[in-house]
Amino acid sequence: MLPATPNILLGEPLIELTTIPSTNIYAMDQVHQGLALSGSCYTADFQTAGKGQHGRNWESEKGQNLLSSYVLELKQLKTGKIWTPADQIGFSAAIALGARAFFGAFAGDETKIKKPNDIYFRDRKAGGILIENLVRGKDWTWAVIGIGMNINQASFSPMSANQIAANPISLQEITNQNWDLKKMQKHLSEALTTSIQNWLMEGDEKTIQAFDAACIEIK
C-alpha cells in the first residue's frame, strides 16, 4: 500500500526563476550540463517562448499561472531496472493522471484529459503537458516534464496559441477566486508524485486503463 504521505519525488528542490524563454529549455540545459538534481522543479513567472505540443507557444500572463518543468532521473525510481523508451507510454499516462488529479481536486469531477495529455474542464482547456526525454543508446535516462496550468489568469487573447478546439479556461474563472501559486505548486508536485508511485506499483496496464477512463473526446 502507498504511504499516507508519499515521499516527494518531484518538486524538491524548487528553483524559482523570473522571466526565461522556457522552463523546459532551461531544465533540459541543466540536465545536459550535469547540473540537474533529480526531482527538481524549475518554475517561472513568465516565459517568452513557452513550449507546447507540436512546436506551439504557450500563452500565460506574468505571475498568474503555474509554469514549471520537473526533471527526473529514471534510475532513481527503481533500483536495478533498465528503463527504455517503451516505458515512456505508462509514464506519460501517469503524469497526465497526476495533473488531472491536481486540477480536479479544486475544479471538480468535470476535469478530464484530452489525448495525448491536455487537461480540460468540460470542453475548455485548463492545462497542457510536454514531456521531453533524454535517451542514451537504448536507455531512457532522464525526463523533463513541462506543465502549464491556468490558475489565476482572468482572460485569454482570442487567437491564443494554446486555444485548440475550445477556449482556454483558468481555475480562477471556474471557482471565482484567486489561488496562492506557491501552495498550488506544492499540491501539483504531490499529485504527480502519488501518480508516479501508483504507476510503479500497478504497472503500465492499470495506469493506461485509468488514463483511458479519464479521457474525453473534444471535437
Q: Which residue has the higher pLDDT, 57 or 190?
A: 190
Could you give the CA distance from residue 61 to residue 45 in angstroms, rounded to a whole number?
A: 8
Could you read off the pLDDT of 120-170 as tens digits, one per residue? 999 999 999 999 999 999 999 999 999 999 999 988 876 544 444 458 999
Q: Any idea of the CA torsion for 218, 108, 214, 200, to the nearest 10 degrees?
A: 140
Strand pairing report for 14-20 and 124-136? unpaired
Cell digits of residue 204: 503500465
Q: How much is the average pLDDT of 24-37?
A: 96
Helix (H) or strand (E) holding 47: strand 41-47
pLDDT-based confidence at residue 50 (cuts at 50, 70, 90): low
Every domain of the chain and the residues it spans:
14-214
129 Cβ partners below 8 Å, 6+ apart? Answer: 95, 96, 99, 117, 118, 119, 145, 146, 147
pLDDT for 110 beyond 70: yes
Q: What is the pTM assigned to this prediction?
A: 0.90
pLDDT for 39 beyond 70: yes
- The architecture (CATH level 2) of 14-214 comes to 2-Layer Sandwich (3.30)
Q: How much is the average pLDDT of 175-197?
A: 97
